[in-house]
Amino acid sequence: MEWAIPLQKLEVGKIQISKLQDYEKSIVPLGYFDGTYTFPSLNILLPSLTVEQFEPSNGKLILRVDTQEAKLLALQSSLLNAVYIQQSSWFPDTSFSLEELKAFFKPIIENKFLYLYFPVQFNNDVHIYKDKQWHTKYVEGRIKKNDTIRIMFRIQGISFHKNNYKKNWSGKFRLQHRIIAILLG
**pLDDT band at 38; cut points 50, 70, 90:** confident
What pLDDT digit, counting tens, does each position of 133-184 carry?
888 888 888 899 999 999 999 999 999 998 777 778 888 999 999 999 999 9
Q: Are 10 and 143 in contact (CB under 8 A)?
A: no
CA 79 to chain centroid, in Å, comes to 11
Mean pLDDT of 100-113: 94
Q: How much is the pLDDT for 115?
A: 96
Q: How much is the pLDDT for 1?
A: 64
**What are 60-64's contacts with CB under 8 Å, separation 24+?**
60/115, 60/117, 61/115, 61/116, 61/117, 61/118, 61/143, 61/179, 62/113, 62/114, 62/115, 62/116, 63/113, 63/114, 63/116, 63/149, 63/151, 64/112, 64/113, 64/114
Domain extent at residue 166 = 5-184
Q: How much is the pLDDT for 57?
A: 84
Q: Are 173 and 162 in contact (CB under 8 A)?
A: no
| Whether the predicted pLDDT of 128 surpasses 80 | yes
- Higher-pLDDT residue of 58 and 46 is 46
Q: How much is the pLDDT for 182?
A: 93
Amino acid identity for residue 16 in this structure:
Q
Q: How much is the pLDDT for 75?
A: 93
Q: How much is the pLDDT for 123?
A: 60
Mean pLDDT of 44-50: 95
| Whether the predicted pLDDT of 119 surpasses 80 | no
**pLDDT band at 31; cut points 50, 70, 90:** very high
Say what percent of the chain tops pLDDT 90.
63
Q: What is the number of structural domains in the chain?
A: 1
What pLDDT digit, counting tens, does each position of 57-95 carry?
888 999 999 887 889 999 999 999 999 999 999 998 889
